[in-house]
Chain A
Amino acid sequence: MPAPSRLDARRRRILFEHIEAYLFVLPAVILVGVFDVLPGFAAFLMSLTRWGIIYERFAGLDNYRAVLDPAGARFEQFMNSLGVTVWYVLLTVPIEMFLALVIAVVLYQGTSGRGAYRVVYFMPYITSVVAAALVFEWMFDANFGLLNWAIGLVGIPAQEWLREPDGVFGMIGSAFGLELQGWMTGPSLALVAVSIFTVWHFIGFQTVIFLAGLTNVDRELYEAARIDGAGERQIFLRITLPLLSPTIFFVLVLATVGAMRSFSQIFVLTNGGPLDTTRNVPMLIFQTFFERTAVNGIGLGAAMSFIFVLIVVAITIFQFRVLGRRVFYG
């Protein structure tokens, strides 16, 4: 009877194929498992412990309670950082996206030297944040900085930039004799300075993605619209924007999450100061972990990072719910 042996051969082949496939994925599975999946679980378990320099005990939800109790000092810290995070998103994302969109549309309409412009705009994105921050720190320098000289040319007094904890709205207000109080003084000038660096660093990235989105728009549509007598503004509003809306939405989600989770540029430019006015949530988590380990830093920091993840996810879902349905998918 030949049938069973043929079945055996088939089985053997499937078995061999499986072994081969598992060997292919094995190195990646081990590495991703050990350095991504495992630490993810470990971080959650850590948030349920009291753990400073050494592990003390299981603490249930104590850490979450400590961070979320409105009467506690941790709550105030966390809310302050959340405020910084929100301001930072508002100061960077809309400006980056607007400028990148303008540049991309102008480049796409076909100018000479398009490739060269693209190369220049993308340059900051590939440079090291640490080294580029050295250059910006110096341009922001209060005494010899280029920026103070430049604003001096138009009659604005010299500023402290990265060392200035005062809110920008308050500063502008008092220049016009208007005294603002509390949160109305706005984000600190230091945070604005960090945002300027961020916009510079990421604008090319967004430009390139917008350009890629534009090249997917059918050129014939433009020609048809022109033949029908549509003006440039109409073409932009009625054709380019709707057809680009999936890309715009994608960049918005990506940029918002990225801005909320920003760390290195703040770490090297201000380290969270002055007076904690640039200490966003990732910076607070980092400081809680590393500088205050004596007082249950690991447990608290882990709890904060999980609360923060939930906030980021909630905002992303909100964007999908509210804005996602206005996206035109052709």
Chain B
Amino acid sequence: MPPRVLAAGALKHLILVAGAVLTAFPFYWMVTTSFKSFAEAQSYPPVLWPTVWHFENWQQAWEFPTTLWARSFANTLGIAAVSTLGTLVTAVLAAYAFARMRFRGRNVLFAIFLLTIFIPSEATLIPNFVLITKYLGWYNTYQAQIVPFLASVFSIFLLRQFFMSVPQELQDAARIDGAGHVRFLWSVALPLVRPALITVALLNFLASWNSFLWPLLVTSSPEIRPIQVALVPFSSEAGTQYHLLMAGATFVILPTLVVYLIAQRYFIEGVARTGIRG
């Protein structure tokens, strides 16, 4: 190979490696710090690799007096699971109807759904807060953290695209065999759009897992608060004990990271697809 091509190749790799190191560094720093001693975590100049690994830090952070980690994790897991399942059901039904059923008002309804994407969340936050706490009386409950997220216009929009790509011939054939919409949806259409279902489920689960502002506003007691909100009192209590702070941050990030690494294809392809189609 001529030297110029070699140089270009080396430059490419240099860019990619440098970028990847900078991107991954905060994760590295978080995990390694969580295993350092108190003194080493605070040492200046910083120590890049723990001299002694203090695995007991994690236990110490987990048993931190102000934080009910297990309870918060269970809350987050439960809230995320129920709202993801609910979103899947409502989104599949609505998306299928918008894609493959003919009914009066379909286009108007779909246009209204699309318009809601443009309503900024800053504007609807207060009315929703008033609605949930004052009119529904759901302040500091699980349903306040779940019910508003049981439908997602974005998911409906994404799934509708996929249902539209299911060939009409399949539906005609099913109809001749006497299968109605429910039957066709359950045994033909759903299996065909399975990758899209997984993407929608993962993205909703992730959004629920990472949601912070809304649960912070509508809850007050640690017993029903999710993990992201529990992190706030933890971080102010832990103060400058950075090794414990980083252990706490790792607790919160690790589960999503594991799910992401296992199912990264669905995350990335889902974002690529929805990103392109808007």
Contact = CB atoms under 8 A, between A and B. Distances in A.
A129 B213 CA distance: 11
B128 to A, nearest CB: 5
A192 interface: no
Nearest to B9: A111
Given A17-B103, A131-B253, A208-B268, A305 B16 contact: no
A230 interface: no
Interface string A122-163: 111111111110111011000110100100000000000000
Contact of B90 (A28, A205, A250, A264): A28
A135 B212 CA distance: 17
A1 to B, nearest CB: 28
B148 to A, nearest CB: 4
Contacts of B58: none
Contact of B276 (A126, A129, A212): A212
Contacts of B113: 28, 32
B2 interface: no
A289 B125 contact: yes
B194 interface: no
B126 interface: yes
Interface string A308-320: 1100110000000
A302 B126 contact: yes
A127 B19 contact: no
B188 to A, nearest CB: 16
A291 B90 CA distance: 36
Contacts of B170: none
Contacts of A305: 120, 122-123
B245 A134 contact: yes
B96 A24 contact: yes
Interface in A11-47: 17-18, 20-22, 24-25, 27-29, 31-32, 34-40, 42-43, 46
B23 A21 contact: no
**Which of under 10, 10 to 19, 20 to 34, or 35 or more describes the interface residues of B?**
35 or more
Interface stretch (A67-75, A78-86, A112-120, A183-191): A112-120
A43 B93 contact: no
Contacts of B109: 25, 29
Given A18-B104, A103-B19, A129-B210, A144 B44 contact: yes
Interface residues of A, number: 87
A285 B122 contact: yes
A213 B119 contact: no
Chain A, interface SS category? helix
B190 interface: no
A204 B122 CA distance: 25
A18 B116 contact: no
A225 interface: no
A128 B122 contact: no
Interface in A265-290: 267-268, 282, 285-286, 289
A27 B276 contact: no
A127 B256 contact: yes
B142 interface: no
A222 interface: no
Contacts of A22: 103
B53 interface: no
| Interface hub of A42, A128, A208 (most chain B Cβ within 10 A) | A128
B156 interface: yes
A130 B228 contact: yes
A39 B128 contact: yes
A261 B271 CA distance: 20
A146 B29 contact: yes
A102 B15 contact: yes
Interface in B112-155: 112-113, 116, 118-128, 130-131, 147-148, 150-151, 153
B257 A129 contact: no
Interface in B1-28: 8, 12-13, 15-16, 19-20, 22-24, 26-27
Nearest to B271: A208
Contacts of B22: 200
Given A129-B210, A144-B44, A209-B271, A32 B12 contact: no
| Interface hub of B43, B118, B120 (most chain A Cβ within 10 A) | B120
A118 B231 contact: no
A106 interface: yes
A39 B19 contact: no
Contacts of B16: 103, 106-107, 111, 117
15 contacts: A18-B104, A25-B93, A27-B151, A29-B94, A36-B116, A36-B119, A40-B123, A42-B131, A118-B268, A119-B268, A212-B276, A247-B276, A251-B275, A301-B126, A305-B120
Given A38-B131, A208-B272, 10 more contacts: A21-B97, A36-B153, A124-B23, A128-B253, A132-B249, A149-B46, A212-B276, A261-B122, A267-B213, A305-B123
Interface pairs A-B: 9 shortest CB-CB: A39-B127, A31-B151, A212-B272, A28-B94, A42-B127, A21-B103, A24-B97, A39-B124, A209-B275
Interface of A: 17-18, 20-22, 24-25, 27-29, 31-32, 34-40, 42-43, 46, 99, 102-103, 106-107, 109, 111, 117-132, 134-136, 138-139, 143-144, 146, 149, 200, 203-205, 208-209, 211-213, 216, 232, 247, 250-251, 254, 261, 263-264, 267-268, 282, 285-286, 289, 298, 301-302, 305-306, 308-309, 312-313
